[in-house]
Chains A and B, each alone.
Chain A
Amino acid sequence: MKQISRWFQRNLIRVYAVFAFTYLFIPVAYTFAFSFNDSGKSNLVWKGFTLSNWQNPCGAPEVCTALGNSIKIGFLATLFSTILGTMIAFALGRHKFKGRSTTNLLIFLPMATPEIVLGASLLSLFLVFQINPGFWPTVIAHVLFCMSFVVVTVKARIASLDPRLEQAAMDLYANERETFRRVTLPLVAPGIAAAALLAFSLSFDDFIITNFNSGTMTTFPKFVYTSAARGIPAQANVIGSAMFFLALAIVIIGQFVGRKRKVS
């Protein structure tokens, strides 16, 4: 008995971690499991195992339209927010100028604002100018809230860059443009990539802001929400699970590549 209690004392926190991870994955496992449900229209009760959902992920009406919109918006929002955000990050991270702390604050504010306020205020603006909510207003909204995250991510990467590397480049006859091109940019690139990935996942998964600014256009999260009442088609589960595995794969591969670079 004493052995067991001693083992517990030392490993209590590990045991806890296992439980915590299980808790984290329960809904994911559930979603994955029910993607195999032979459900027809309403995926509420388990009816039987089938692969048909995976074989025909676009079978339910609107699922793939919604997914397509989400991907298109995600891509555009990532593109613009990454470019704009990286530019701001460089300005903040590499230059001293008046109004620097005000700019920092302004970048931080969207992250501290509840999504509902961001979405609602944008909608109000669009209404004033009589712009109908839809695809492009949604893209604009996504660029808005992604930009701050891009700035923070890239700025952190720039901060960890040893300024002496750029000095060494200039010492070795590279002018400012060449230094940026050959030393600064390649070294900041992983940060920019991480920021882009973050922006895409934030955009793809966004619901609240999208809900306010998309009008009749559906995105994947919106589709799930509106079909919740009558039961989400299993195809949505398929797509959700697929996204999960895809993202997991990207991150794990990223880890491997990073590790390989260090030990060769």
Chain B
Amino acid sequence: MNAIAALGARTLRVLQGWGHAALFFLGLLRVLPQSLRRFGLVVVQMHAIGNRSLLIILASGLAVGFVLALQLYNTLITFGAAESLGLVVNLTLVRELGPVVTALLFAGRAGTSLTAEIGLMKAGEQLAAMELMAIDPRARVLAPRFLAGILSMPLLAALFSAIGILGAWLVGVGLIGLDGGNFWSIQQNGVDVWRDVANGIIKSAVFGVICTFVALYQGYETEATPEGVAYATTRTVVLSSLAVLGMDFILTALMFSTR
């Protein structure tokens, strides 16, 4: 009987957690328009979230482009298809790796800092102080960060893909010596603006919502202790990575499955 009760309690707790998160998400959406009225706050957050993630995103994109080009060349040359190196790298980056790797890096670079910042605000009772002054901390603190995350992620993912393709160009055309004109024209023949590029951007916007929301929620609901903040920061990375990977599969199945 105790085991059944424990199972029931656990189920209820999990459901309660999901419901709590969903309500929090809806509340966040409701106060989101208020951040448009004070756009200066969003700009400051975009600097913290977007600009400061730029270096790691660009460096990773370049490295991924280099490595993809080198590795794929070895396989493609055995089929005499080395000319389509650019196309393969392009589709890989634009459809999948760009949005996903950017989201994973974003969770590590920006998500953790959001969680830690808000968690420490809560631990320092700054959020409670705001509420005392009749300022909704969700509208003042969370909403600008949420919007900044959603706006930054597609830009970062596009830059990741773009610099990755440039990296592949450097390796493929510069190092290996493929024909530069073919490199681009085969891509232009094989990559569709709406099906591939636009879907990739939609993907990264969804990942932006997921990563930023998880980070904000974990920070806002953290236990107001040093251990609690540390735990919440870890959970941010784990949960947003898992959510991004799971969501990526669903989105890929919806967007790119056989037509």
Partners in one complex: no
- A interface list, Cβ under 8 A from B: none
